[in-house]
Amino acid sequence: MATLQSAVGEGAPNRNPDVVAVQTLLKQAGLYPFKADGDCGPKTKAAILKLQKGFLTHPDGRVDPNGATWTRLVAAAAQGGTITSEWSGDSSRWTQDKKLLSMEPFLRARVVMIVTDLKLQGFQPKIFFGWRSVAVQEQLFKQGNTKVHFSFHNGQKPDGTPNAYAADIVDSRWGWGDEAETNGFWAALGKSAKAHGLVWGGDWVTFKDVAHVQSRQNSELAATKTESGL
Protein backbone atom coordinates (compact mmCIF):
# COMPACT_ATOMS: atom_id res chain seq x y z
CA MET A 1 0.00 0.00 0.00
CA ALA A 2 1.15 3.52 -0.76
CA THR A 3 2.17 5.73 2.13
CA LEU A 4 2.51 9.48 2.44
CA GLN A 5 5.68 11.19 3.57
CA SER A 6 3.93 14.48 4.21
CA ALA A 7 0.48 16.03 3.88
CA VAL A 8 -1.34 16.74 0.63
CA GLY A 9 -3.98 19.37 -0.08
CA GLU A 10 -4.89 22.75 1.35
CA GLY A 11 -1.82 24.46 2.86
CA ALA A 12 0.20 21.23 2.76
CA PRO A 13 3.79 20.60 1.54
CA ASN A 14 2.37 18.74 -1.50
CA ARG A 15 5.47 16.75 -2.45
CA ASN A 16 5.05 15.46 -6.00
CA PRO A 17 5.10 11.70 -5.16
CA ASP A 18 2.62 12.23 -2.28
CA VAL A 19 0.25 14.15 -4.55
CA VAL A 20 0.47 11.40 -7.18
CA ALA A 21 -0.39 8.79 -4.51
CA VAL A 22 -3.43 10.78 -3.33
CA GLN A 23 -4.61 11.52 -6.87
CA THR A 24 -4.29 7.86 -7.84
CA LEU A 25 -6.43 6.79 -4.87
CA LEU A 26 -8.98 9.56 -5.53
CA LYS A 27 -9.17 8.31 -9.10
CA GLN A 28 -9.78 4.71 -7.95
CA ALA A 29 -12.48 5.98 -5.60
CA GLY A 30 -14.24 7.65 -8.52
CA LEU A 31 -13.68 11.15 -7.20
CA TYR A 32 -11.02 12.45 -9.58
CA PRO A 33 -11.45 11.65 -13.29
CA PHE A 34 -8.17 13.32 -14.30
CA LYS A 35 -4.51 12.48 -14.78
CA ALA A 36 -2.44 11.87 -11.62
CA ASP A 37 0.10 14.57 -12.48
CA GLY A 38 1.49 15.32 -9.03
CA ASP A 39 0.26 18.90 -9.17
CA CYS A 40 -2.13 19.69 -6.29
CA GLY A 41 -4.47 22.20 -7.92
CA PRO A 42 -8.14 23.15 -7.40
CA LYS A 43 -9.47 19.87 -8.87
CA THR A 44 -7.44 17.75 -6.46
CA LYS A 45 -8.44 19.89 -3.48
CA ALA A 46 -12.11 19.75 -4.55
CA ALA A 47 -11.94 15.95 -4.74
CA ILE A 48 -10.44 15.76 -1.22
CA LEU A 49 -13.22 18.03 0.08
CA LYS A 50 -15.85 15.89 -1.62
CA LEU A 51 -14.51 12.82 0.15
CA GLN A 52 -14.36 14.61 3.51
CA LYS A 53 -17.87 16.06 3.31
CA GLY A 54 -19.25 12.56 3.79
CA PHE A 55 -17.71 12.08 7.21
CA LEU A 56 -16.21 15.25 8.66
CA THR A 57 -18.03 18.13 10.31
CA HIS A 58 -15.31 20.54 9.27
CA PRO A 59 -13.66 19.38 6.02
CA ASP A 60 -10.24 21.00 5.61
CA GLY A 61 -9.27 19.74 2.15
CA ARG A 62 -6.16 18.09 3.48
CA VAL A 63 -4.86 14.52 3.65
CA ASP A 64 -2.40 13.93 6.50
CA PRO A 65 -0.19 10.82 6.62
CA ASN A 66 -2.13 8.12 8.53
CA GLY A 67 -4.94 10.58 9.36
CA ALA A 68 -8.69 9.87 9.19
CA THR A 69 -8.95 11.18 5.61
CA TRP A 70 -6.08 8.97 4.46
CA THR A 71 -7.70 5.88 6.05
CA ARG A 72 -10.99 6.73 4.40
CA LEU A 73 -9.35 7.37 1.05
CA VAL A 74 -7.50 4.03 1.02
CA ALA A 75 -10.74 2.17 1.90
CA ALA A 76 -12.75 4.03 -0.74
CA ALA A 77 -10.12 3.31 -3.41
CA ALA A 78 -9.99 -0.39 -2.45
CA GLN A 79 -13.70 -0.83 -2.99
CA GLY A 80 -13.81 1.36 -6.09
CA GLY A 81 -16.07 4.03 -4.66
CA THR A 82 -16.80 6.01 -1.55
CA ILE A 83 -18.34 4.03 1.30
CA THR A 84 -20.45 7.05 2.11
CA SER A 85 -22.31 6.82 -1.20
CA GLU A 86 -24.28 3.71 -0.19
CA TRP A 87 -24.86 5.16 3.29
CA SER A 88 -25.55 8.73 2.23
CA GLY A 89 -28.74 10.73 2.40
CA ASP A 90 -31.23 11.20 5.22
CA SER A 91 -30.75 8.10 7.37
CA SER A 92 -34.08 8.70 9.16
CA ARG A 93 -35.75 7.76 5.85
CA TRP A 94 -33.94 4.45 5.39
CA THR A 95 -35.87 1.17 5.62
CA GLN A 96 -36.07 -0.54 9.00
CA ASP A 97 -33.65 -3.21 7.72
CA LYS A 98 -31.08 -0.67 6.61
CA LYS A 99 -31.35 1.14 9.94
CA LEU A 100 -30.72 -2.19 11.70
CA LEU A 101 -27.70 -2.85 9.48
CA SER A 102 -26.27 0.54 10.44
CA MET A 103 -26.01 -0.59 14.10
CA GLU A 104 -23.17 -2.50 15.73
CA PRO A 105 -24.11 -6.21 16.11
CA PHE A 106 -24.85 -6.27 19.87
CA LEU A 107 -27.20 -3.29 19.64
CA ARG A 108 -28.81 -4.63 16.46
CA ALA A 109 -29.74 -7.94 18.12
CA ARG A 110 -31.19 -6.12 21.17
CA VAL A 111 -33.22 -3.71 19.07
CA VAL A 112 -34.78 -6.66 17.24
CA MET A 113 -35.76 -8.16 20.63
CA ILE A 114 -37.18 -4.85 21.89
CA VAL A 115 -39.25 -4.37 18.73
CA THR A 116 -40.65 -7.90 19.19
CA ASP A 117 -41.42 -7.25 22.89
CA LEU A 118 -43.26 -4.04 22.10
CA LYS A 119 -45.27 -5.55 19.25
CA LEU A 120 -46.42 -8.34 21.59
CA GLN A 121 -47.71 -5.60 23.89
CA GLY A 122 -49.78 -4.10 21.07
CA PHE A 123 -47.46 -1.21 20.21
CA GLN A 124 -46.29 -0.31 16.71
CA PRO A 125 -42.56 0.28 17.26
CA LYS A 126 -40.49 1.88 14.53
CA ILE A 127 -36.79 2.66 14.49
CA PHE A 128 -36.51 6.37 13.78
CA PHE A 129 -32.71 6.66 13.81
CA GLY A 130 -30.01 4.04 13.93
CA TRP A 131 -26.82 5.51 12.57
CA ARG A 132 -26.56 9.09 11.45
CA SER A 133 -23.68 11.05 9.96
CA VAL A 134 -21.78 13.70 11.92
CA ALA A 135 -23.10 16.21 9.36
CA VAL A 136 -26.70 15.37 10.38
CA GLN A 137 -25.63 15.42 14.03
CA GLU A 138 -24.36 18.97 13.51
CA GLN A 139 -27.74 20.05 12.07
CA LEU A 140 -29.55 18.54 15.08
CA PHE A 141 -27.12 20.36 17.38
CA LYS A 142 -27.86 23.69 15.71
CA GLN A 143 -31.62 23.02 16.03
CA GLY A 144 -31.17 22.31 19.76
CA ASN A 145 -32.26 18.68 19.39
CA THR A 146 -29.03 17.31 20.83
CA LYS A 147 -26.39 18.70 23.15
CA VAL A 148 -23.42 16.83 21.67
CA HIS A 149 -21.46 17.19 18.41
CA PHE A 150 -20.67 13.48 18.47
CA SER A 151 -23.19 10.93 19.75
CA PHE A 152 -23.39 7.14 19.91
CA HIS A 153 -25.55 7.37 16.78
CA ASN A 154 -22.41 8.52 14.91
CA GLY A 155 -20.32 5.44 15.74
CA GLN A 156 -18.58 4.06 12.69
CA LYS A 157 -15.73 1.78 11.63
CA PRO A 158 -12.49 3.61 10.75
CA ASP A 159 -13.27 3.11 7.05
CA GLY A 160 -16.56 4.98 7.49
CA THR A 161 -19.02 2.08 7.55
CA PRO A 162 -21.88 2.91 9.97
CA ASN A 163 -21.57 1.15 13.34
CA ALA A 164 -24.07 2.93 15.61
CA TYR A 165 -24.18 2.32 19.36
CA ALA A 166 -27.57 4.03 19.70
CA ALA A 167 -31.07 3.83 18.27
CA ASP A 168 -34.19 5.96 18.64
CA ILE A 169 -37.43 3.98 18.73
CA VAL A 170 -40.92 5.49 18.54
CA ASP A 171 -44.46 4.18 18.05
CA SER A 172 -45.36 4.91 14.44
CA ARG A 173 -48.81 6.21 15.49
CA TRP A 174 -47.53 8.78 17.99
CA GLY A 175 -43.89 9.66 17.37
CA TRP A 176 -42.85 12.04 20.17
CA GLY A 177 -46.49 13.14 20.74
CA ASP A 178 -48.23 13.09 24.13
CA GLU A 179 -50.03 9.82 23.36
CA ALA A 180 -46.70 7.97 23.52
CA GLU A 181 -46.48 8.96 27.19
CA THR A 182 -50.15 8.51 28.10
CA ASN A 183 -50.34 5.10 26.43
CA GLY A 184 -47.24 3.90 28.26
CA PHE A 185 -45.02 3.48 25.21
CA TRP A 186 -41.92 5.13 26.68
CA ALA A 187 -42.19 3.17 29.91
CA ALA A 188 -42.53 -0.09 27.97
CA LEU A 189 -39.56 0.83 25.76
CA GLY A 190 -37.39 1.67 28.77
CA LYS A 191 -38.33 -1.53 30.57
CA SER A 192 -37.57 -3.71 27.55
CA ALA A 193 -34.30 -1.91 26.74
CA LYS A 194 -32.99 -2.36 30.27
CA ALA A 195 -34.13 -6.00 30.41
CA HIS A 196 -31.95 -6.57 27.34
CA GLY A 197 -28.92 -4.81 28.83
CA LEU A 198 -29.17 -1.43 27.13
CA VAL A 199 -29.02 2.08 28.57
CA TRP A 200 -32.31 4.01 28.22
CA GLY A 201 -32.23 7.78 27.68
CA GLY A 202 -35.46 8.19 29.66
CA ASP A 203 -33.44 7.58 32.84
CA TRP A 204 -31.27 10.65 32.30
CA VAL A 205 -32.02 13.55 34.58
CA THR A 206 -30.44 16.48 32.76
CA PHE A 207 -31.44 15.61 29.20
CA LYS A 208 -34.27 13.09 29.20
CA ASP A 209 -34.25 11.30 25.85
CA VAL A 210 -37.20 8.88 25.99
CA ALA A 211 -36.88 7.35 22.50
CA HIS A 212 -33.16 6.69 22.86
CA VAL A 213 -31.43 3.42 23.73
CA GLN A 214 -27.69 2.73 23.59
CA SER A 215 -25.34 -0.20 24.04
CA ARG A 216 -22.53 1.75 25.70
CA GLN A 217 -22.26 3.94 28.79
CA ASN A 218 -21.97 7.72 28.40
CA SER A 219 -18.46 7.49 29.87
CA GLU A 220 -17.42 5.55 26.73
CA LEU A 221 -18.35 8.34 24.32
CA ALA A 222 -14.86 9.76 23.86
CA ALA A 223 -13.41 6.30 23.20
CA THR A 224 -16.17 5.61 20.67
CA LYS A 225 -15.30 8.81 18.83
CA THR A 226 -11.62 7.84 18.66
CA GLU A 227 -12.46 4.32 17.46
CA SER A 228 -14.61 5.88 14.76
CA GLY A 229 -11.61 7.77 13.40
CA LEU A 230 -13.31 11.12 14.13
The rounded distance, in Å, linking the Cα atoms of 152 and 166 is 5
**Smallest gap from residue 126 Cβ to Zn ion (A):** 14
18 makes contact with Zn ion (CB under 5 A): no
Three-state DSSP at 197 gives: coil
Looking at beta carbons only, is 23 or 137 nearer to Zn ion?
A: 137
168 makes contact with Zn ion (CB under 5 A): yes
**Smallest gap from residue 18 Cβ to Zn ion (A):** 40
Cβ density class 200-224: b for 16+ within 10 Å, e for less: bbbeeeeeebbbbbbbbeeeebeeb
132 makes contact with Zn ion (CB under 5 A): no
216 makes contact with Zn ion (CB under 5 A): no
- The helix (run of H) or strand (run of E) holding residue 118 is helix 105-120
Count, residues near Zn ion per rule CB under 5 A: 3
Choosing from 110, 132, 212, 216, the residue that interacts with Zn ion (CB under 5 A) is 212
Looking at beta carbons only, is 158 or 202 nearer to Zn ion?
A: 202
99 makes contact with Zn ion (CB under 5 A): no
The rounded distance, in Å, linking the Cα atoms of 221 and 164 is 12
The rounded distance, in Å, linking the Cα atoms of 178 and 188 is 15
Q: Which residues bind Zn ion (CB under 5 A)?
A: 166, 168, 212
